Every structure is written in structure tokens, then in C-alpha cells.
Amino acid sequence: MLKTDVLIIGSGIAGLSTGIKLAMLRPDLKIDVLTKVNEHESNTSYAQGGVAAVWDHGTDTYEKHIADTLDAGAGLCDEHIVRIVVEEGPERVEEIIDWGTRFDLDQFQKYDLGREGGHSENRILHYKDLTGWEIQRALSAKAATLDNLIVHEHYFALDLLTQHHLGHIVTRLTENIECYGAYVLNKENWEISTIVARNTVLAAGGNGQIYRSTTNPVIATGDGIAMAYRAKVHLENMEFVQFHPTALYNPGLEKQAFLVSEAVRGFGAILKRPDGTEFMQEYDERGSLAPRDIVARAIDNEMKLTGAEFMCLDCTHLDKEKFIAHFPTIYEKCKEKGIDPMKDLIPVTPACHYMCGGVQVDEFGRSSVNQLYACGECTSTGLHGANRLASNSLLEALVFGHRIAHSIASNIDNSDLENQIPQWERTGTTEPKEQVLITQSIKELKEVMSSYVGIVRSDKRLKRAKDRLALLHDETEELYRNSLVSPQLCELRNLITVGYLVSKAASLRKESRGLHFTTDYPERADFVQYSVL
């Protein structure tokens, strides 16, 4: 049994910003951060666009940013939370600048503010088209300077510890469920440790790998949300999956689609059909700068109407020198694929990008389970509602990381370690002899989710998805019971759990709102409904 004061599961912007701030507030606390791969591999590292914050008070205001966020969220945002994030956000961005984060400057040595779909003003701070990578770099460097903060690489969190592990019956109706830490697999020596902590922070990132095409890295397998669900933590709004409208079209089966940032459209690129005609004005007066849900559905509809496998992004009228300066990675990737953005239309298709729902938390990141906090993409804070406004997610992670750190610093002295947790039971299990059972089940899951629970849904499609997922679940649970634990098997379990939760939440919402569109209920309902699971 390993003991720590605070266990943080995940080393992206949410986990590291929480850990850094807490380590600075309470040098007396021992803080351990786990990542299942290496410290730099997270969804954060692949965030191209930037971080939204009101910076130029001469043209922009908090009220404009709040209004843009509420408009994108389609009536499901919590305005109190939106105001907290927007108003506290700039100070949090100042902090990461102080910690070494670089953002692009213009010719006057002022921040070069970009604009993306749904924003009424230029307010996106960015570092070329590698903003997430730059923030991850700076946070990792800052974390390395703190003696009481340790990042452990190649540790896979298996399950959160609660009273269930003490032999008690725990259901979703049980009051005062407590979190005591987690069971963790060391991927280098295959030992399973029991880590008990006075407080635990879930910052395990996204779930994009439930779909065939996603901009998320291969590690985004929904581990945090699946663990929370098994621990009877309250979840909400799982049906709202954001598909980025413009991933680079690649007919191959890459596990991670290449993202063509929304900032490219903010820079002036125009969405067109393969024949060169524009189409976005037919769907929204904002054209190519409409919010992501509208653009993704428009592209999906155009592909179905025309039979095309992709739509196109026209950058040929843009200044080449400035384009390459702003988007060097995108330019090089296109050239690698034989596409010259200055001469050719860039073929794009929607791809799963971001989960707006997740672990239900309050304004201090507290979940429904005592001593368990959550931060980042695995949460539902009330900021995004039914559709995330571009570049708000990095801001959300910074603001809630700060708030969680202050909450833990003030309250952790009231928490004790639970020393009676039993070790992980490994008897009676064997090595899985056929890896194909795992890999094929993942392929089936991705096909089911992409075909039936994608950008456009229906009751019939959702029922078929749930029926197929139930079969996959039963097969995987039998394999899990009879096999030694492996990251691949656990990721499969987690992916199936998240796929089921998205499908179930989607079937409960009898309307179309934000990112959830169903042909059976194409109109938005007059009442506001939160889908709590």
C-alpha cells in the first residue's frame, strides 16, 4: 500500500495546473500525479487553436465573452459558472505566462489575438498552431521545480477506491460515498498497487477513441469517466459529443485524425464543396465562422446530399507568408499529403473532438463523492452546456485547477487516510491468449458509435447501438473476469462503458439541442433538461 496526501490522475493541463498550484499553496503536502504514458502525452498537447480570454479591453468585454459562451451552449450553460471562468480566466493565463508559457506577438509586440467560430471578438491567445503543446511544455517544466510534486509515468489507474472496497454495498443512491484513492497498475513491472490518498483529483482527459475518426490521441479512452461511473459518481450531459468540423480527410485508418484548427477559418479560410462553391451561408448567417455544431452538421449534410467523402477548406486567397507563420504544422502536414494549401483546396471531414459532459462538479470541482474532485475534459462544470465554445476548454481547466487547489488546501486537514483497503485480488486469472478478442471488439465499438451515435441520431439507431454495446459488454466482462489485468483490456472496458453512457444519455433526450441532433425530435424543447446518469 502506497500513501499520499493528494493523488491526481492525469498529467494534462487540468492535472498539472491543479498539482502545481496546490504544491505552491501547501509545501507540506505530498502530491502524486499519475499518467498512463509519458508526462507530455495528453489531449492538451494536441490543442492547436489556443486559449480564449478577454485581453484587449478596448474592444472586448467579459459580457461579450459570456454572451458568446451562453449562445454556443444552447441554453444548458450555468451562467454563474460561465461568469466565474470568463472573469477569473485572464489572471490564470497570466500565471502560466509567468511560469514560462509563450504566446505569439504581433508587429507591435502585443499579443496576436486570434478569432474562432462563435466568438464575436479576437480573443484567442495562441502559440502558432501548437498552443496546447506549448502550455504542456511550460507546465511540465514548472512541475519539475517543485519538490513535493512528483509525476509518475506509465501508471494506469484501474479503479477508484470507495466503501465498496471495504465490503459495503454502494449504489448511486448511497449517501456520503467517500473516495480513498485508487488501484493502479505499473505498466513497467505489471505490479498493481493500492494508493490511498486523503484527496483524489480525477483529470484523466477525453473519450474520443470511442469513434472511428477522432482528433484525440490513442490514450483518450474514457478511463476517468468509466472509473467514476463504476464508483457511483454522478455524471451528466454525456450525449453532447463535439465533432470538430475540419479534420484532414484521410481515407486510411489512422487512430488519430489530424486537426485543421478552427483558427484557420478565423484567419479567413472558407468552407466550400469539392466543386468550389460555398455552402455555409445556406445554413447560418455567420458562414464559415458559425459555431462548431452548426458547421459539423452542415458538412455532414452536404456529404450525404452530394455523396462526397469530404468537403473543402479554401485557403488559396490567404497570404502565404502569414499563413505559414501562423500554421506551420498544418502547412507541413498538408504538403506531406501532397496538398499545397496556397494552391489546392484542403479536404476535410468532421471527427470526434471533445466531450462536453462528464463528472458532475460544483464551482470548486467537487464531485458527488466526498474527497473526490474532478477537472478538465472528464467533467461537466456547467461552462460548455450543449456545445463548447472554441478555446474555452484550456481556460476552464486552468480556472478549475486553481479552485480545486484552494479547496483542497483549505479542507484536506479534515481528511484521513483509509488503511483497511484490501490488495487487488489476482487469483484465478490467466494471461489473455487471444489479443484479437480485444482489438476486434474495439473496432466493433468504433463502428457502432460512428454509424449510430454520430453527428445525426435517431431512436432506431440509438436502440441498435445499445443492443450491440450490451453484447460487447457481456463478452468483455467475461474476458475481464478470466484474464490478468492489462491496459488494453481495461481500455476496452472503459470505451464500452463510455459508449453506453453516450448512447443512453442520447436516447433520454427527446429534443435536438446543441451537439445532440435527432431526426425523431428535430426541434429544441421549451424546457431545459439535464441528463444525469
pLDDT tens, per residue, the chain with 533 residues:
899 999 999 999 999 999 999 999 999 999 999 999 876 666 666 666 789 999 999 999 999 999 999 999 999 999 999 999 999 999 999 999 999 999 999 888 999 998 887 899 999 999 987 888 999 999 999 999 999 999 999 999 999 999 999 999 999 889 999 999 999 999 998 899 999 999 999 999 999 999 988 989 889 999 999 999 999 999 999 999 999 899 999 876 567 889 898 889 989 999 999 999 999 999 999 999 888 888 999 999 999 898 898 999 999 999 999 999 989 999 999 999 999 999 999 999 999 999 999 999 999 999 999 999 999 999 999 999 999 998 999 999 999 999 999 999 999 999 999 999 999 987 656 666 678 889 999 999 999 999 999 999 999 999 999 999 999 999 999 999 888 888 999 999 999 999 999 999 999 999 999 999 999 999 999 888 777 88
160, 228 contact by CB (below 8 A): yes
Total Cβ atoms within 10 A of residue 251? 9
DSSP state of 176: S
292-309 as b/e: b if 16+ CB within 10 A: bbbbbbbbbebbeeeebe
How much is the pLDDT for 253?
59
Nearest to 47 by CA among 202, 215, 213, 207: 215
Phi-psi region of 114 (alpha: psi -120 to 50; beta: other; left: phi over 0): beta
Kindly give the pairing relationship between strand 372-374 and strand 235-236: unpaired
Query: Where are the strands (E) in 10-154, listed by range?
Result: 31-35, 51-52, 124-125, 149-153
Nearest to 407 by CA among 456, 369, 368, 371: 371
- Residue 280 C-alpha cell reads as 455555409
How much is the pLDDT for 312?
96
Task: Give the containing element (helix H, strand E) for 186.
Answer: strand 181-186
Task: Give the containing element (helix H, strand E) for 3.
Answer: strand 2-9
What CA–CA distance (Å, rounded) separates 10 from 295? 31
What CA–CA distance (Å, rounded) separates 326 from 336? 18
CA 439 to the chain's CA centroid:
23
Task: Render 155-180 in DSSP notation, one character per residue.
Answer: EEEEEEE-GGGGT----TT-SS-B--
How much is the pLDDT for 483?
86
Question: Which residue type is seen at 263?
Answer: A
Phi-psi region of 180 (alpha: psi -120 to 50; beta: other; left: phi over 0): alpha
Nearest to 515 by CA among 305, 282, 355, 302: 355
How much is the pLDDT for 229?
97
How much is the pLDDT for 335?
94
Nearest to 199 by CA among 321, 334, 63, 31: 31
How much is the pLDDT for 334?
94
Site of grid cell 472496497: 165
Kindly give the pairing relationship between strand 149-153 and strand 155-161: unpaired
Positions annotated as catalytic residues are 292
What CA–CA distance (Å, rounded) separates 444 from 353? 20
* C-alpha distances out from residue 8 to 178, 182, 314, 341, 375, Å: 16, 10, 43, 42, 10
Question: Which residue type is seen at 339?
Answer: I
DSSP state of 325: H
How much is the pLDDT for 39?
65
Task: Give the containing element (helix H, strand E) for 85.
Answer: helix 79-98
359, 228 contact by CB (below 8 A): yes
